[in-house]
Structure 1
């Protein structure tokens, strides 16, 4: 029995128009993102695309209950509790795009899961973000924003010490192990790769903007155009990661989206810039007198501070995520807030007051942008509804001036426990997404905890 018309709002006309405009494309990647933000799905041939738009595609419910290694996590309740039955995936309207530099030519389309009656599958991260967007719309406000993408470009081979090393320039093979922060000349060696990344982003309808050499050898940052649609902002980020990874591979280097791949240097964040618009498109965070911050932006910060501790698992979801949080590292270690201050967790950037926004800095680049977006919006909703006071502003060093900040977990295990018991996070993600996400994280923690690593041998083999 078909569930057509598509519950996602996609139409067969979109597919037909795309096929007519791109006769050279032979196949399509169908991509669904799980709790970890991993793209899962299928590659179909050209003649199958119309059928996908007419009838969707069956996928097993267990696809949303997988851990980071692709293994079933039975505690999610999405495996044998439901007989691993099929759900139906439907294309996301407007997400059908050509891919850059593929041979033979290929396209891509994002999809979301629904049950066979057309209801949203509630462990799909995209639906979790949509719930918060819809809830804000019901309250008369509409989130706008953009994510920043930090990442490393690494050599495909480890160094003599067995550790990862920065990639050589793809232009001429030149190597640098310096922190080339803000060096424009250093960027030139990677321009052939970044030109392809920009071309891939343009084909996907993504406006990738400023390129920076960041604060570690081999680390870079790409910024994205601000969106008046928070879902589009999350789509942009997750698609850009895939574009960067594919183009890096084509140029013979590895794109790394671990939060902290090199212990001696800064990790990679996924800062979210967010503002709120009213029904007329006016930014409600803008103050009447510059520097006298509006009640909405202060209440929003209050909500984000109050809920950050129980939300940290979303922002730092993996074992490696927690290595990023260290003093003087440009990663926040407590829920401080401030103006034009990069040592805090919640920053009001300097600039034109018409663009007034909050920069949410805790999330690592390894986090799922849909879940980060859902959790941040829920925190803002909480602050606006309860008219929360954000507390004192940090005007100096946020790594030392945090005595009045609410406590947050200090390690991964504590973050898992806090998330499991959080009524706020359960409401932010929805009951099923909350259960699925925390179960997957608990399973990943258990996998890491039982693994005997090289660190164990280094510390203890000849000493205990």
Structure 2
């Protein structure tokens, strides 16, 4: 069969010849929660994957955060839990640092070769293709914020920042931008950078972020937004694996600690024309083009109904508090980190939008697809974003702002014609069904705070 993903068996042959030490390959399919689902195959099975694909149950894309079937997705018993065919993503076969294994990304098609539209990759590619029809090509990069934690909790059961892997030194302070603090994690960071290099990802600046144990890693700009999303997903696996190898835990929850900032996943995005010129660049610096203003207008107009993509879990909503570097309203501004949509400082040829609502727990492919659809909507409808916010964007947020909590976000997403179009009908149904099932699961649990507040007092 000819792979509908564009992968060619020659890629596998060349890889195996160049890497005789590889004895196994991780097959990685990212579901709507960004969880890597798939299998580990042996070296001798790789050629068959590239020639014939690999059969997987359709229900693999209908699982909740715990790996349980969500029947309401329509991907389980309605289709007899039948198989679909996963194909390798062209150019995604890479060795894994410090192991004798490799990794290849998958995308899913029906047995007749047509796209299985519950796979988020197809939704993003559709948005890229729609922009390309108008001569526009998105370029992008994500920022990755995360915590490094001690695998052993404190005597009170609380999470603790990880001790330095270099010498075991501990710090519970906010070491923001401290270069000396970074030194204690250099052996781990070296392995993270080595893993990124093997994966073909240009990982760049590492900083100590605005909470104890929190770090940020920036990734190089890509002319392909699909590859930018892949970079972010792969970097999370690389960071998690290398942290584990060094005896610490990489945490990608949006808000693991109360009282300090959570972890975002900011998306920097611009649009190039067919000749590679930045279509967001203004003629005179500081005089914003209609295209970038209308793109921001689209992001504003659809933020309310899109927040479930950007904040998909119960914990996600703990991140949104005033003066926490997480946005609380669909505001925009220039060189201003208190807004949702920021135009960073810099030369006009590098003009871009920084989309700040997403937590690091969001699925990057879904985020990118939704952001592109919103920008396209704004440019098509010529939506005016209104005046930019200057100064403290938390001081006077517009009303309405955004959903108050996870439950409201699920309802807004379910009702949204925009999100249904952005993701496609099938993926929208699957995503909303999974989130509704997860809400029901969380709502059925009696948390410790209920016992602390009410057990002896009501």
TM-score (norm 1): 0.98
Q: Does 1:13 align with 2:10?
A: yes
SS of equivalent to 2:301: helix
Matched with 1:268 is: 263
Matched with 1:50 is: 47
Alignment check: 8 A CA contact 1:306 1:406 kept: no
Aligned-partner Cα distance in 1 for 2:401–2:323: 19
SS of equivalent to 1:397: coil
Aligned-residue offset at 1:402 = 2.1
Aligned-partner Cα distance in 2 for 1:408–1:425: 15
Aligned-partner Cα distance in 2 for 1:140–1:307: 23
Alignment check: 8 A CA contact 1:394 1:401 kept: no
Task: Please identify, of 390-399 and 368-377, the stretch whose mean Cα deviation from structure 2 is larger.
Answer: 390-399
Match of residue 454, structure 1, among 440, 448, 452: 448
Report matched runs for 1:248-397 at 5 Å: 248-397=243-392
Aligned-partner Cα distance in 1 for 2:156–2:408: 33
Aligned-partner Cα distance in 1 for 2:292–2:437: 37
Match of residue 434, structure 2, among 413, 434, 440: 440
Aligned-partner Cα distance in 1 for 2:237–2:216: 15
* Post-superposition CA distance 1:216-268 (Å, at most 9, x none): 00000000000000000000000000000000000000000000000111000
Aligned-residue offset at 1:161 = 1.6
Matched with 2:171 is: 176
Q: Does 1:414 align with 2:411?
A: no
Matched with 1:68 is: 65
Aligned-partner Cα distance in 2 for 1:207–1:99: 15
Aligned-partner Cα distance in 2 for 1:458–1:259: 24
Aligned-residue offset at 1:311 = 0.1
Matched with 2:186 is: 191
Alignment check: 8 A CA contact 2:328 2:401 kept: no
Alignment check: 8 A CA contact 1:133 1:143 kept: yes
Aligned-residue offset at 1:18 = 0.3
Aligned-partner Cα distance in 2 for 1:407–1:331: 13
* Post-superposition CA distance 1:413-461 (Å, at most 9, x none): 0000000000000000000000000000000000001101111111111
Structure 1: segments with no counterpart, 5+ residues: none
SS of equivalent to 1:456: helix
Alignment check: 8 A CA contact 1:335 1:406 kept: no
Aligned-partner Cα distance in 1 for 2:397–2:249: 37
Q: Which runs of 4+ in 1 moved over 4 A?
A: none
SS of equivalent to 1:44: strand
Query: Paired residues, what number?
Result: 458
Alignment check: 8 A CA contact 1:305 1:406 kept: no
Calculate the aligned-residue CA RMSD, in Å.
Answer: 0.6
Q: Does 1:210 align with 2:205?
A: yes
Aligned-partner Cα distance in 2 for 1:263–1:441: 24
SS of equivalent to 1:308: helix
